[in-house]
Amino acid sequence: MTATTLPRLAVTAGEPAGVGPELIARLAATDLAADLIAVTDREHLLRAAHTCGVQLTLVDDDGSRVASRAPGQLRIRHVPLGAPAVFGQPDPRNAAHVLATLALAADGCIAGDFDAVVTAPVQKSTINEGGIAFSGHTEFFADRVGADVVMMLASPDLRVTLATTHLPLSAVPAAITAPLLERCLRIVHRSLVDLFGIAEPRIAVLGLNPHAGEAGHLGREEIDTIEPLLDRLRNSGMSLLGPLPADTALVPAMRGRYDAVLAMYHDQALPVLKSEAFDRTVNVTLGLPFIRTSVDHGTALDLAGTGRADPSSLIAAARMAIELASRRASA
């Protein structure tokens, strides 16, 4: 992208039976200042657009850069379905189709064809039922490019990153090691500088146990693992708060003290974030060599095909992708 051309966003439709195709159609109908390239099946996308009453001007993507885009204008990289898609009824025969869209988008970013990828939700269970081991977008993209990554969920008021993601709660304590936390904190720190333009990031680190262990009375992970690591990283120049009790660290009065939070596990901090800003929260994968943002909700199979799915989260994800791509281009 240049000062006179729009950022090129590859937008993957995710689960064909879910709301992703409809959300892309509604995104295209906005006046968002980006060149949107849908990565999905052409005919299925047109059916989804018809379902939600959106008139699309759909053309094949030739890779050229443009200076403007009219509402309803959408380019496409056609990836054929493996089987006809029925809204609300995921089909494992389309698992390979879903992963092919993600691979095309990632490879296109690496090649410089796209400035960022924005992803609609996938149905993990259906992909696994299709015989393909799959734990999520974050892990797929990390494996695709061989990167160490961290998941961030960002709203206008709060950025939450996760030390562990899709693990059973029983497996979390053993996973919280000093090497893991150091890797996460270094990725988060670097991303806050490079992607978000924060020169001297401040990161709050949550404890694993209630009350951050209560001086060892409610668990020793803070004393044995987290505190020594934070002290060592502080001595290297990082600004780190914690370990903090999770039940007070996220209150509004505390948030001015830090730029991002590192939570120990998936549900430790995300309920607070989603309860406050569900339709404005964006999933960002930190550590990739390209920008990836996503919605922070699932496939909503019960809404698929009704034309009533709310595109707010996908619009927020696209806006953040534009912001991050613009900052990277001007760096």
Q: Is 211 annotated as a binding residue?
A: yes
146 Ramachandran zone, left/alpha/beta (phi>0; psi -120 to 50): left
* CA gap 12, 156 in Å, rounded: 24
Q: Is 190 annotated as a binding residue?
A: no
Q: Is 274 annotated as a binding residue?
A: yes
* CA gap 262, 119 in Å, rounded: 23
Side chain identity at residue 32, one-letter code: L
Nearest Cα neighbor of 201 from 159, 163, 171 is 159
Euclidean distance between the first and the last CA atom of the chain, given in angstroms as a whole number: 13
* CA gap 193, 187 in Å, rounded: 10
Q: Is 283 annotated as a binding residue?
A: yes
* CA gap 89, 172 in Å, rounded: 33
Side chain identity at residue 248, one-letter code: T
Q: Is 292 annotated as a binding residue?
A: yes
Q: Is 235 annotated as a binding residue?
A: no
Binding residues for a divalent metal cation: 166, 211, 266
Binding residues: 137-138, 166, 211, 266, 274, 283, 292
Binding residues for substrate: 137-138, 274, 283, 292
